[in-house]
Amino acid sequence: MQTALSRLAAGTLTSVSLTEELIAGAERAGDLGAFVTLDADRALAEASAADRGPVRGPLHGLPIAVKDNIHVAGLPNTAGCEALAGFVPDQDAQAITRLRAAGAIVLGKTNMHELALGATSTGGPYGPARNPADPDRFAGGSSGGTATAVAAGLAPAGLGTDTGGSVRVPAALTGIAGLRPTTGRYPTGGVTPLSRTRDTIGPMAATVADLVLLDTVLAADHGPAEAPGPREVVLAVPEHHFTEPLHPRTAEVWEHCLDVLKTAGVRLVPVRLPEVETAEERAGFPITLHEAARQLPGYLSRATGAEPAALLARITHPDVRATMERVVFPQAVTESAYRAALDVRDRVLVDGYRRIFRETGAHAVLFPTTPLPAGRIDTDTERVPLDGVLRPAFPTYIRNTGPGSVAALPGLTVPVRSAGPGLPVGVALDAPWNTDRRLLGLGLLVEKLLEAGA
């Protein structure tokens, strides 16, 4: 697939013409709810300078979309919350500084689930981020606006943030690629905080190849990321949790993926991962709530000049408000409960994944990114039907991405475009720690095999 980035690099597309096209498209497609703020004048000025000036780096002249919890100097940073609408940072986040140094241009700030506390990107003050594949359905979250922008062709690439799946879930639901790097791989300064041990910025793009370039810049890592031969690859396939249950559409695509990879010669090894069914309940949520209670209230006070408790009434989404009450008045997760959650993470999840990789020789764990495709905005934002049961939307959509996130693994979702008509479905790869470039190489291979469909 020829992308805007490859065309810019080849000189067959100017930054100004691309930026003008994207701005016009974003203005026409305002009903999709992709952008909260469009920085049209500054983006066009920087595009004009890029076309006239020397090449600054591998992203020269590329307009990108940025989730509205990542600071961009001079633009509001709402984090999807009306209470923060007046907060305008005077400095770029460290990740934005790296992207600008490589030649990228910030097109605007994108919609998201309020305060990044959800998986649908609906219910906030800026309206839902709609799924371009079916605008009556949500894009997923919490980085839904960036996914909408990339999937709709309103931005060639963008940034989200991922604590438990917030890059990969919306990427999968909208049919694009998304990467959660090993926690700590990218700089985190200048981001609305939730969990210091779980939060990370993650890039989103139409193809894995574009993610490779974005990762090169964000991680300052020029190491190789090349597709291996199919017969060189071993993938661990969980026989529980990740596939129990699946929506019929997701199950159909999942079986198609397994057939394609097996036919190509990839070795698929069945495994049982340790206690992943309770990973979020026993470790993920307690860690996030405890750490958010020690970071987020102070951030909100500095950003707004108000006491955090006074901001609760200005939170739109009822579930987000309920969670924030636990953050602002932290009584739910004691220090001892937090330490116990860290112990579960290290003793059960981290050691368990390490054992799986060691014993099987697997290069990654393979699974459906989400158990089901995107739900309807009018009926499925709080509870979603799966296998004949109405289930809470948030834990259902992060069911598969959560365990690896708690363990701080790098994770990648690849779109499956060869499985016939229907809502987008993604297939995910979680790899050992600090093997991000090898993971991206695996993604290139999986993407190529699935594009071919055989």
What residues are annotated to the active site?
67, 142, 166
Q: What is the DSSP string of 46-112?
A: HHHHHHHS---STTTT-EEEEETTB--TTS---TT-GGGTT---SS--HHHHHHHHTT-EEEEEE--
Q: How are strands ordered across the β-sheet holding 63-67?
A: 35-38, 105-110, 63-67, 157-162, 200-205, 177-180, 411-415, 426-430, 364-368, 234-238, 267-271
d(CA 29, CA 346): 45
d(CA 331, CA 79): 24
From residue 284, alpha-carbon distances to 189, 280, 302, 326, 375 in Å are 22, 4, 27, 15, 24
Give yes or no for a contact between 139 and 148, defined as CB atoms under 8 angstroms apart: yes
Tell me the residue length of the chain.
Answer: 454
d(CA 336, CA 333): 8
Residues 6+ apart with CB under 8 A from 86: 76, 304
Q: Quick one: CA dihedral 191, 195, 196, 197, positive or negative?
A: negative
d(CA 248, CA 268): 22
**The pair of three-digit structure tokens given for residue 4, joined into one six-digit string:** 């805007």
Looking up tokens 């007046």 gives: 86
Q: Is 332 left (phi over 0), alpha (psi -120 to 50) or beta?
A: alpha
Long-range CB contacts for residues 281-285, cutoff 8 Å, separation at least 24: 282/341, 282/344, 282/348, 283/341, 283/342, 283/344, 283/345, 283/348, 283/349, 283/406, 284/164, 284/198, 284/341, 284/402, 284/405, 284/406
Q: What is the DSSP string of 284-296?
A: IHHHHHHHHHHHH
Which residue type does 404 have? G
Q: How many CA atoms lie within 13 A of 154 on its CB side?
A: 31
